[in-house]
Structure 1
Amino acid sequence: MPEPADSGPKGSRRIPKVPFWAQIVAGLVLGVVLGWITRSYDVRWLHTTLDQVGHIFVQLLKLAVAPLVFFAILVSITNLRKVNNAARLASRTLLWFMITSLVAVGIGLLIGLLTNPGAGTGLTPKDGKKPEHAGSWLDFLTGIVPTDVITPFTELNVLQIVFMAAVAGIAALKLGERAKPILTLSESVLELLQKALWWVIRLAPIGTVGLIGYAIADYGWDLIGKYATFTADIYIGCALVLFGVYPLVLALAAKVNPVQFFRGAWPAIQLAFVSRSSVGTMPVTQRVTERLGVPKEYASFAVPFGATTKMDGCAAIYPALAAIFIAQIFGVSLSIGDYLLIAFVSVVGSAATAGLTGATVMLTLTLSTLGLPLEGVGLLMAIDPILDMVRTATNVAGQALVPVVVAAREKILDHRAYDTATSSPVDAYEDQGEHGERGGHGGHGGHGTGGGRTADGPLPATA
């Protein structure tokens, strides 16, 4: 294939474009190095700089989270009117969310029982402390409905934002043509937010340096030693779900090539690992899901729904292992009934993770249901950022997986698009306004219409 004409001076060569994934990897490596230097030589100014760089990146992402969730859910519900058998698709999506969550929590429990992560850590009950925010079933149920329309946005209560968006979306469906101006405005605002998030995500490599560097500088490797087994369990559990369970589901239930799924979904999984927020990653998750052949109208419902409720890492593997870990530290024996309760909480209560950063609410919900001391949460807070990366990557992979499985089983998956989807950073992240066109399923071909949506970060919305 001939090289494009060089527009520069004669004899000059264009500087090759560095792939986005390579920029992220470089940011990870540089962050680790700077974090190690900061901790080893106590470079205070560098410690502060890393903290500020990471903090600014996260704050930029946070700016768009509340309106992004609201308009994404509203638009996704109204888009279901364009899909045949919408109720069937929604119920099948929820069913597969539950099935994969049950398998994930089962893997978490099995690993915990085999490895005893709380044994030999040197940690004692006095090392723990109660969290500032605790989840309970009463709080979960009563907390869904907001007391006003402003507070959920100012306090970033994603669960309440989802509730209001769902009500608005259903009301718009009932109004029919009279709601068309509002829907047109909502779609435009959503496009605007996604465009702005694309600009923020272009800064992800720099944000990665700050986030990873500060984590290494602040926590160091010595802390991981006390939690070595628990940390390994989380990573192994997530890896088993990511590269064991999901490929089996794709091969057996959807009858598609699992390797091709990871090729197409990798940009979203990669960003989720770095920035630690399912909601922040939601636009790029939706984009890669569409590129994998899922109809746009269905993907625009399933992905936002999953970004606020589908948490195999945070709401299944993590609370299962954490409950066993904390029970062992506090000397509490868990029964078969307790393990069944953990599975129940993981499947039914996963939407609670939409309220705060990481899996704190989900963990306190699990502990309170089992009657375990909430002080155990304090034992895990120091190590949480390191665990949150792989948890969020698992969450996002599951959020892309289920729409593919449901679309394949309902025979609406574009197999040509799926088989030719690429993990090219240019294809996945390119500015849609410049290199693509808006539209539906027709843009799902092997080379697609370009298009990037993006982003994620340790936001209060999920981990």
Structure 2
Amino acid sequence: MSVSTNTKSFKLPFRAPFWAQILAGLVLGVLLGWLARSQDVSWLVTTLEKVGGTFVGLLKLAVAPLVFFAILVSITNLRKVNNAARLASRTLLWFMITSLIAVAIGLVIGLVTNPGAGTGLTPADGAAPERTGSWIDFLTGIVPTDVITPFTELNVLQIVFMAAVAGIAALQLGEKAQPILTLSESVLTLLQKALWWVIRLAPLGTVGLIGNAIATYGWDLIGQYATFTADVYIGCLIVLFGVYPALLATVAKVNPLQFFKGAWPAIQLAFVSRSSVGTMPLTQKVTERLGVPREYASFAVPFGATTKMDGCAAIYPAIAAIFVAQIFGIQLGVGDYLLIAFVSVVGSAATAGLTGATVMLTLTLSTLGLPMEGVGLLLAIDPIVDMIRTATNVAGQALVPVVVSAREGLLDRDAYDKVHSSPVDETPADEVPADDPRRVPAAA
């Protein structure tokens, strides 16, 4: 007797779309946060903090092994793709181009609005962070001293380095490395499946994260940082809904609205989770749904999740540097603005796809010679601006593979044109059929 594997009959007759679940979580979180703060309900504040913290903790739990195996497998997957070196170089080039555009927008907004003026803040309000970033730390910190510490301390940059070395070595070994590659692919599939369960909890996590932010900070804090907060949001929104659609329409020659229909679930999750790496499985899923070949998406998305940060590493540090300079009464010149652009393009890997961008900010300030106490001025407002920063990061991580695929003639335009905003299918990426049009022709 055969057992049917068709599970469609067990699905609920109605399931709210993922975006609607997230939106409901946002609304409920705001209401509960406002209630907890206005009525001083301490147990509700604690509950919201625990719910949000648990959700982020679950995301971070899989970060270290997920990054390692995703980078390793993505590099080895390039052997299945024609013109792999060309695709990799084009991906890196567009990462740089979009980062330059983003940092330029951040600089212009900062220079026009003067975010540090009229805040009432003084240098005495700042405090030097316990950990800072410098170019020496960045360069020497790439190579780990052992293979355990990067995983226990969650040093994503070092994990990426080890994964890249392992992936390149596996390519050189050829068939001898196949058992390791098979094991790595199985582990990656397992991690992605487990993380999918966490992602399904995003609406609940949203309630806790947004509610705790409102209950803890309220709206008073935003008043002091009104111009700075508005600058970061405006800059990110210009990139999200101005620059990206323009690139899609003029460079990729596709309908920008279709891109946002397909990528919206990942952008939403990034907004509430504030983690590019935690969102990575969903980002890869929506990128493939947009018609990007799986073999290429499995390289470009993990690579982007650890190095492609238009929000955290371009717009934010540009505006933040101007803000800090104005608070401390330091005049920046043209050379300083060029340094900001350089740091944004080269040093973006320092953000490592984790919650927050403090390391990138300290790297920028140290390069410009600005006081590190400026970081302390921005830590209070960081959770609020980090949401839009991370959403911009993830949108860019999905955008570049679409642009490169379109320019290289690999994009499945039929799949792109038909993509919709329904809930993302949970089928693991590795289970995409071999004859699926999202796969690229194997290398000869």
For normalisation by structure 1, the TM-score amounts to: 0.91
The 3 A distance-change label for structure 1 pair 257 and 68 is same
Q: Which of 251, 254, 269 matches 1:253?
A: 251
Aligned counterparts of 1:200 and 1:356: Cα–Cα separation in 2:
16
Q: Which of 431, 436, 444 matches 1:442?
A: 436
Could you report, residue by residue, the CA deviation over 1:352-406 in whole angstroms, capped at 9, with x for unpaired residues? Answer: 1117531101100000000000100000000000100000000000001111111
**For residues 26-41 of structure 1, what are the structure 2 equivalents within 5 Å?**
26-41=24-39
Residue identity in the other structure for 2:436: G
Q: Which of 43, 46, 54 matches 2:44?
A: 46
For 1:114, the equivalent position in structure 2 comes to: 112
Structure 1 position 441, deviation (Å): 6.9
Aligned counterparts of 1:355 and 1:400: Cα–Cα separation in 2:
14
Conserved 8 A contact 1:296-1:441: no
Confirm or deny that 1:403 pairs with 2:401.
yes
Q: Which of 75, 78, 81 matches 1:77?
A: 75
Q: Relative to structure 2, which stretch is displaced further, 353-362 or 72-81? A: 353-362
Structure 1 position 431, deviation (Å): 2.3
RMSD, matched Cα: 1.7
Q: Which of 269, 274, 278 matches 1:280?
A: 278
Aligned counterparts of 2:91 and 2:354: Cα–Cα separation in 1:
24
Aligned counterparts of 1:224 and 1:443: Cα–Cα separation in 2:
48
Structure 1 position 15, deviation (Å): 5.6
Q: Which of 411, 414, 430 matches 1:413?
A: 411
Structure 1 position 55, deviation (Å): 1.1
Conserved 8 A contact 2:276-2:353: no
Aligned counterparts of 2:269 and 2:33: Cα–Cα separation in 1:
20
Structure 1 position 182, deviation (Å): 0.7
Structure 1 position 16, deviation (Å): 2.4
Q: Which of 424, 427, 432 matches 1:432?
A: 427
Aligned counterparts of 1:326 and 1:270: Cα–Cα separation in 2:
30
2:99 alignment partner, SS class: helix
**For residues 168-187 of structure 1, what are the structure 2 equivalents within 5 Å?**
168-187=166-185
Aligned counterparts of 1:151 and 1:92: Cα–Cα separation in 2:
33
Aligned counterparts of 1:441 and 1:235: Cα–Cα separation in 2:
42
**For residues 129-148 of structure 1, what are the structure 2 equivalents within 5 Å?**
129-148=127-146
Aligned counterparts of 1:443 and 1:332: Cα–Cα separation in 2:
55
Residue identity in the other structure for 1:268: A
Structure 1 position 22, deviation (Å): 1.3
Q: Which of 379, 389, 402 matches 1:381?
A: 379
Structure 1 position 20, deviation (Å): 1.8
Could you report, residue by residue, the CA deviation over 1:168-225 in whole angstroms, capped at 9, with x for unpaired residues? Answer: 1011101101111111111111110011011111111111111111111111100100
Q: Percent same amino acid at aligned positions?
A: 81
Q: Which of 230, 235, 238 matches 2:236?
A: 238
Q: Which of 116, 122, 125 matches 1:124?
A: 122
Aligned counterparts of 1:348 and 1:436: Cα–Cα separation in 2:
32
**For residues 343-382 of structure 1, what are the structure 2 equivalents within 5 Å?**
343-354=341-352, 357-382=355-380
Q: Give ranges in structure 1 of 5+ residues lacking alignment.
A: 1-5, 9-13, 446-463
Q: Which of 148, 151, 157 matches 1:150?
A: 148
Aligned counterparts of 1:440 and 1:315: Cα–Cα separation in 2:
37
The 3 A distance-change label for structure 1 pair 394 and 106 is same
Residue identity in the other structure for 1:79: N
For normalisation by structure 2, the TM-score amounts to: 0.94
Could you report, residue by residue, the CA deviation over 1:55-99 in whole angstroms, capped at 9, with x for unpaired residues? Answer: 111111111110000000000000000011111111110000000
Conserved 8 A contact 1:272-1:389: yes
Q: Give ranges in structure 2 of 5+ residues lacking alignment.
A: 1-7, 440-444
Conserved 8 A contact 1:296-1:440: no
Aligned counterparts of 2:162 and 2:235: Cα–Cα separation in 1:
35
For 1:456, the equivalent position in structure 2 comes to: none
- Off by >4 Å, runs of 4+ in structure 1: none
The 3 A distance-change label for structure 1 pair 181 and 336 is same
For 1:212, the equivalent position in structure 2 comes to: 210
1:432 alignment partner, SS class: coil
Q: Which of 129, 149, 159 matches 1:161?
A: 159
1:442 alignment partner, SS class: coil
Structure 1 position 422, deviation (Å): 1.6
Conserved 8 A contact 2:274-2:354: no
Structure 1 position 29, deviation (Å): 0.8
Aligned counterparts of 2:25 and 2:223: Cα–Cα separation in 1:
25
Conserved 8 A contact 2:307-2:353: no
Residue identity in the other structure for 2:132: A
Residue identity in the other structure for 1:313: G
For 1:16, the equivalent position in structure 2 comes to: 14
2:436 alignment partner, SS class: helix
The 3 A distance-change label for structure 1 pair 33 and 363 is same
Conserved 8 A contact 1:109-1:321: yes
Could you report, residue by residue, the CA deviation over 1:233-277 in whole angstroms, capped at 9, with x for unpaired residues? Answer: 001000000010011111111111111111111111111111111
For 2:91, the equivalent position in structure 1 comes to: 93
Residue identity in the other structure for 1:20: F
Conserved 8 A contact 1:156-1:355: no
2:371 alignment partner, SS class: coil
Aligned counterparts of 2:174 and 2:436: Cα–Cα separation in 1:
25
Paired residues, number: 431
1:138 alignment partner, SS class: helix
Structure 1 position 440, deviation (Å): 5.2
Structure 1 position 114, deviation (Å): 0.6
Structure 1 position 52, deviation (Å): 0.8
Conserved 8 A contact 1:157-1:356: no
The 3 A distance-change label for structure 1 pair 358 and 136 is same
For 2:297, the equivalent position in structure 1 comes to: 299
Structure 1 position 444, deviation (Å): 4.1
For 2:442, the equivalent position in structure 1 comes to: none
The 3 A distance-change label for structure 1 pair 355 and 234 is closer
Conserved 8 A contact 2:37-2:215: yes
Residue identity in the other structure for 2:225: Y
Residue identity in the other structure for 2:21: Q
